[in-house]
Amino acid sequence: MLWSRKVKPVISTPDDTAHQDIVLAQTGDAAAFTRLVRAHQGAVRLYARRLCGGRDDLADDMAQETFLTAHRKLRSFKGQGSFEGWLKRITTTQFLMAMRTDKRHKRLKDGLTAEGEALDQHRLQPSKYAGEKADLDKALGHLAEAERLCVVLCYAGEYSHAEAAQLTGMPLGTVKSHVTRGVKKLKTLLSADQSQKVSS
């Protein structure tokens, strides 16, 4: 008499499904690519928004361009690192290109640089940072552009200081200084906001 063993069904994990979607999308499956966009668009947009200092219109353009570029270059993704990390590298490249070429970004750069210098000379009004989730984004928008860029790359983008230096073309010491100053300003802004909320 033959005994049959019950075979457990294979349960696919979210990682397996994501990997399958990447493989399918690389072969031209539009539905699989759409699923990848839906799964990662929130994280990419948030990352772009932080790079842009809270400018939603610019962040949306950059996120859209990220996915268009990802679609064109999808076959170059070899699975080294996470897919989301690969998308964020594309977003970073888009942002750095925009810094160099986009006239809209030049106006943004001039405005944010002036704001950053003004913040160094005047006391901040903590009430400007009311809200929960938006506190960090608003505070990031008040850093000088180079500080915000380096902080976002090293924290949200998870790049090392050396990688951020390579991406931006800044000397390593300059990147470290911008990160240190930026983080210090963020702590001041966010702790002042918390103090204001507690005393209210």
Enter the DSSP assignment of 152: I
Confidence (pTM):
0.63
Stretch (H or E) spanning 117: helix 103-121
At 93 the pLDDT is 87
How far, CA to CA in Å, does 29 sit from each of 20, 34, 73, 173, 186? Answer: 11, 9, 14, 45, 43
What would the 3-class secondary structure string for 12-77 be? CCHHHHHHHHHHHHHCCCHHHHHHHHHHHHHHHHHHHHHHCCCCHHHHHHHHHHHHHHHHHHHHHC
CATH code of the region 14-101: 1.10.1740.10
- Higher confidence at residue 177 or residue 105? 177
**Topology (CATH level 3) of domain 103-200:** Arc Repressor Mutant, subunit A (1.10.10)
pLDDT in tens, 106-154: 555 555 455 455 444 433 344 443 444 457 778 888 888 889 889 888 8
Contact indicator for 123, 103 with CB cutoff of 8 Å: no
Domain ranges of the chain: 14-101, 103-200
pLDDT in tens, 32-78: 999 999 999 999 999 998 888 867 888 899 999 999 999 999 999 98
At 197 the pLDDT is 57
